Structure 1
């Protein structure tokens, strides 16, 4: 990324913008009724955020997302991680 705005975000967060865009794309095209895809996205978010997710927490997040249907409430996940 050559854009100064993105470089500034990368330097503040330590996260490569290409990884963020890849995650956003995965979320946009994910089938949230597919447990395998939901778990994969949770692991990606955990890795990018550098926040380990225990198996128990992952199970709770998956259950919550799958109960909600085909939407992903990022604020709910953020609260669970927080």
Structure 2
């Protein structure tokens, strides 16, 4: 069941996985990221944040254009309970 936005990504991965969950133009060509790749990268980013000493309750700001990396970062900080 989806209770939060955070839950949506895992729901989509487990119930409707897609090869092109996120698509953006890079260097003049379209590049896609699958649901599985997206969740994997978000987990890796969360791990990196932990290694930097960022923990639940800390605050973070995401300053970015609308792009896949913004969504990855948003999921990573949500997973850790970081306030953004």
What TM-score comes out, normalization by structure 2 length?
A: 0.27
Q: Which has the higher helix share?
A: 1
Q: Which has the higher strand share?
A: 2
What TM-score comes out, normalization by structure 1 length?
A: 0.28
